[in-house]
Amino acid sequence: MDEPPPAIPTLPERFTAVERLGAGSQAVTVAAHDEQRGRDVAIKVLELGQVHDWKAFERFERECSVLESLDHPGVPTVLEQLHDEARGQHLLVMERVPGRSLADDLRSGRRRSEAQLLDLLRQLLDLLEYLHSLHPPVIHRDIKPSNVIVRPDGRPVLVDFGGVAKVFRPEGASTVVGTFGYMAPEQLYARVSPGTDLYGLGATLAAVAAGEDAERLPRRGLAVDLSEAIQPGILRSVLEAMLEPDPDLRPGSVAEVRALLEPGGAEISPALRRRSKVSSPVPSSSTELAVPRRASVLARMGPRHKTIVIAYFWVAIGLGVMTRAVFLTVALLLLSPLLVLVFLDKGHDSP
């Protein structure tokens, strides 16, 4: 027996609901027609009665605040915020972006050429450069195919800023946001940086290029293996660099990815990128992206130890997903601090 379609929240009278576009952990997005404006809109609805975590409300408020402050063609335009006390709703009214999402491409089996994907990559890098250059930088944290809509004229738009962070957190925070397959490994520690978004963008375009969800792509250790899914060339080389699981080896800025897109740029090895980062000038402590004096837990480990710890997290969570053994997963994760302390005590890997 078919399940009934998901319910659409009741909207204020001036809006006529058309369809439910999607739902996240904190809100439902609805396509509607605004009779007052005479235009189609997308409305993100937070039902206060359905919120069981204060952080969900905090994230919704942050998304509203961030989107209202942005001015870029690659971000949906916010029209207004509404608070319906009678219904216990907070509503974010935005333009309805026409076009297809990259997730639609995956579902339909549509394949884009390498030239088209490189064009999308460059346009989305322009958008990320804008977001990351703000003060403080805006980190999306959940870039994936369903959150990238391509307008009929080919311009991409990044939607769903529900997981956005307006801070640079190289040492981690209390909230983990992201989608498995598209989130960078360091996001398991709630570590946030521009490199986090670059990983998500790389995973998104790799999935579209391969015609397969990123979570199903083959792996070699922690690294996504694109050797069979994507033909050799500049696109594959750049995506492999963006999907480097070690954040210290991955490009950390849009400028670094652009350099890889230049002739011969993608041939730079991860080891050379690491040496380049070590030898580059340390940013001033007055800049927004200055790294704190106390190094992050991951940075204090050697590369082999770091890989083992990150792999341990993935295995623990993977076991929980496959077996639904919640207690086993929790037990494994509770043991992880001991693993971290052991490796910190060992220090960096010996040569």
Return the pLDDT at 341: 47
**pLDDT interval class at 294 (50, 70, 90):** very low
Q: 351 or 310: whose pLDDT is higher?
A: 310
User: Which of the four pLDDT bands, split at 50, 70 and 90, describes residue 175?
Assistant: low
Dihedral of alpha carbons 240, 244, 248, 251, sign = positive
Peptide bond just before 136 cis, omega within 30 deg: yes
pLDDT given at position 50: 74
Dihedral of CA atoms 293, 294, 298, 299 in degrees, nearest 10, equals 40
Residue with tokens 């696109």: 235
**Cα(253)–Cα(255) distance, integer angstroms:** 5
The length of the chain is 351
Q: How far is CA 323 from CA 70, 221, 313, in A?
A: 42, 21, 16
CA distance 146 to 330: 30
- DSSP-derived letter for residue 88 is T
Q: Residue 200 above 70 pLDDT?
A: yes
pLDDT tier at 265, thresholds 50, 70, 90? confident
- For residue 149, which phi and psi values (nearest 5 degrees)? -105, 130
Tell me how far apart the alpha carbons of residues 173 and 165 are, in angstroms, rounded to a whole number. Answer: 11
pLDDT, tens digit (0-9, with 9 covering 90-100), for 105-120:
999 999 999 999 999 9
Helices (H), the chain: 54-69, 102-108, 114-132, 194-210, 234-242, 254-261, 270-279, 303-323, 326-346
**Edge-to-edge strands of the sheet including 148-150?**
100-101, 148-150, 156-158
Read off the pLDDT of residues 228-261 as tens digits, 9 standing for 90 and up.
999 999 999 999 999 999 999 999 999 999 999 9
Distance from C-alpha of 311 to C-alpha of 301, rounded to nearest angstrom: 14
- The pLDDT value recorded for residue 349 is 43
C-alpha to C-alpha distance for 171 and 151, rounded to whole angstroms: 37
The confidence band for 312, taking pLDDT boundaries of 50, 70 and 90, is low
Tens digit of each residue's pLDDT (9 = 90 or more) over 318-329: 655 455 554 555
Residue written as tokens 């086993």?
Answer: 328
For 169-196, the DSSP string reads BTT--S-----TTTS-GGGGGT-B-HHH
Give the separation between CA 160 and CA 29, rounded to whole angstroms.
Answer: 9
**Are 97 and 149 within 8 A, CB to CB?**
yes
pLDDT tens, residue by residue, 123-133: 999 999 999 99
Residue 123, Cβ density class (10 Å: 0-12 exposed, 13-18 middle, ≥19 buried): middle
Q: 235, 291 in Cβ contact below 8 A? A: no
Total-model pTM: 0.76
User: For the chain, how far is it from start to end, CA to CA, in angstroms?
Assistant: 61
